[in-house]
Amino acid sequence: MSYTVKLLQQRNSTNIDFFSVSDDVIKKIEEYKSSGSIISYDFSDISEDELIKTMVITFNSLDDYTLAINEDVFIDSAISRQTYCNEHSISWSIEQVD
């Protein structure tokens, strides 16, 4: 059964850039996608008012998700995201999509 997670970022102004994942993260996601562990991902959904960005990844299974989030590149990205968002007053949340 697939497992989908959604990262939402909300900013107060369009003058502040959203956090974006690094090229290393995209490369690792593409590796997972090529192996079948990731079914799809979309990091480009921005609300009409441009204040909310939604990033979605669908994994083949919960096990694939668990394996991925324990990779150093994803751990480092999570730390970078938290730091960036805190420094730029961007609120964020991670949700499981049923």
Q: Where are the domains of the chain?
A: 3-97
Longest dimension (CA), the chain: 40
pLDDT one-digit tens code per residue, 22-38: 999 999 999 999 999 99
Task: Judge if pTM exceeds 0.85.
Answer: yes
pLDDT one-digit tens code per residue, 37-95: 999 999 999 999 999 999 999 999 999 999 999 999 999 999 999 999 999 999 999 99
**Backbone phi, psi, residue 57, to 5°:** -130, 130
**By three-state DSSP, how is residue 90 classified?**
coil
As assigned by CATH, the class of the 3-97 domain is: alpha beta
The answer, yes or no, to whether residue 97 has pLDDT greater than 90, is no
